[in-house]
């Protein structure tokens, strides 16, 4: 293929991927696909991870899309982003809007049961055990406030 025949946007899983980037970098444009997952997808599809996404033929792009859709069945449970679903108990790899919706459901469930993490989410504080004395402050006042008098 010539340089003129590059596709600037490649559509996979309802996401427009940058056709000017390498396959392993372009696939990270899908929410829920990181660098390790993208390299695994390229390997399973039989595509060079360093090839430019927009220069791939349609058959290769279809193979990549097929692997993205069946990723959970092709990899071990420790490679998915939801190894034990709370409702079904099975391993799933969530992508795109499914990931966003499930994340929101998880946070709402924690808030509803009044767990420590749920309360921290509710009040907008740090959730993962970070210190909060000096960082994570909100508001207009900067520095130490002093008593007047």
DSSP readout, 108-139?
Answer: HHHHHTT-HHHHHHHHT---SS---SSSS--S
Position 87 in a domain: yes
- Same domain for 64 and 7: yes
Position 54 in a domain: yes
Position 147 in a domain: no
Position with higher pLDDT, 40 vs 147: 40
- Same domain for 13 and 68: yes
Residue 148 has pLDDT above 80, yes or no: no
Position 43 in a domain: yes
Position with higher pLDDT, 3 vs 96: 96
Distances from the Cα of 88 to the Cα of 22, 70, 71, 83, angstroms? 36, 18, 18, 11
**Helix H or strand E segment including 24:** helix 23-26
- Same domain for 89 and 22: no
Domain count for the chain, please give it.
2
CATH code, 27: 1.10.8.50
Q: What is the biggest distance separating any 2 CA atoms in the chain, rounded to whole angstroms?
A: 78
- Same domain for 97 and 70: no
Average pLDDT, the chain: 91
Structure tokens at 63: 């193979």
Position 30 in a domain: yes
Report the distance separating Cα 19 and Cα 22, nearest Å. 8
Provide the residue range defining the domain that includes 85.
80-123
- Same domain for 74 and 7: yes
Cβ neighbour number for residue 63 with a 10 Å cutoff:
18
Q: What average pLDDT does range 20-24 have in this prediction?
A: 95
Global pTM reads 0.81
Position with higher pLDDT, 148 vs 44: 44
Position 141 in a domain: no
Q: 71-122, pLDDT tens digit by residue?
A: 999 999 999 999 999 999 999 999 999 999 999 999 999 999 999 999 999 9
Please check whether residue 70 is in contact with residue 8, taking contact to mean a CB–CB distance below 8 angstroms: no
Predicted confidence at residue 5, as pLDDT, reads 84
């Amino acid at each position: 293929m010539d340089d003129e025949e590059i596709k600037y946007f490649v559509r996979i899983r309802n996401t427009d991927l940058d056709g000017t980037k390498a396959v392993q970098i372009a696939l990270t444009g899908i929410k829920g696909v990181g660098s390790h997952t993208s390299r695994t997808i390229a390997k399973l599809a039989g595509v060079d991870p360093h090839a430019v996404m927009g220069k791939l033929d349609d058959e290769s792009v279809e193979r990549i899309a097929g692997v993205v859709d069946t990723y959970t069945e092709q990899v071990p449970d420790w490679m998915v982003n939801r190894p034990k679903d709370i409702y079904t108990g099975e391993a799933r790899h969530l992508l795109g809007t499914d990931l966003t919706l499930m994340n929101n459901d998880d946070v709402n469930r924690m808030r509803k049961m009044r767990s420590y993490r749920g309360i921290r989410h509710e009040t907008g504080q740090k959730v993962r055990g970070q210190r909060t004395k000096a960082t994570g402050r909100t508001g207009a006042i900067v520095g130490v406030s002093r008593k007047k008098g």
